[in-house]
Amino acid sequence: MTQTYEEMDAIAMLKADHRKVEDIFEQFEKATSKAKKQQLAEQACLELKVHTILEEEIFYPACRGQIEEDLLNEAYVEHDSAKQLINEIEAGGPEEDFYDAKVKVLSEMIEHHVKEEEMRSEGMFSQARSAGLDMDKLADDMRARKRTAMEEFQAGKPAETRTMEGDNVASALTDKPIGEGAVQR
């Protein structure tokens, strides 16, 4: 029997998010029209922004001190790399040269993220499960936060990074040699 959303514990909820986003990326691969691609890419970005908030504000802090420290810190940095791509994708559109490439790379980052969390025994979720975290209480907190986060992001709030300041990196937005008339922004 499949669990309803309200019945899920924290790990089931996070895994359901993973499956949902994987499915959206799969549809993006098959999509042919620019409008459809943009709609799917933006849907994936929204889901991922909410997912990272739930992990960073609720699930990861609960894991702190209970599971491998390195794994947790790397997850925050990986989230931030993904968020930089997410904000780029949201600010851009499918007419851009690198749009599809950005979505593809984002999907690969998420594939890696999913593996780090769902891997048997040494993955984050199984470490958290063995540590005896209260997954039902965490799920209630996550369900409540999900509603507010969805509203905030649907209103257009970009993702915020916690571990890096990607906007400080000068960019040329071209594959031509930098310095040859490339536009800095």
Site residues (vs Fe ion, CB under 5 A): 117
| Distances in whole angstroms, Cα of residue 40 to Cα of each of 24, 66, 155 | 6, 36, 18
Q: Residue 80 or 117: which CB sits closer to Fe ion?
A: 117
Q: How far is the CB of 1 from Fe ion (least distance, A)?
A: 24
With beta carbons less than 8 A apart as the criterion, state whether 74 and 116 touch. yes
User: Closer to Fe ion at the Cβ: 26 or 97?
Assistant: 26
Shortest Å, Cβ 112 to Fe ion: 11
Give min distance, CB of 48 to Fe ion, in A: 9
CA atoms within a 13 Å half-sphere pointing along the CA-CB vector of 173: 8
- As measured in angstroms, the least distance from the Cβ of 179 to Fe ion is 39
Q: Which amino acid is at 94?
A: P
Q: Tell me whether residue 37 or residue 75 sits nearer to Fe ion (CB atom).
A: 75
| Spatial separation of the C-alpha atoms in residues 11 and 148, rounded to whole Å | 20
Q: State which residue, 28 or 60, has the beta carbon closest to Fe ion.
A: 60
Contact indicator for 102, 85 with CB cutoff of 8 Å: yes
Tokens, residue 168: 């400080």
Q: Are 102 and 42 in contact (CB under 8 A)?
A: no
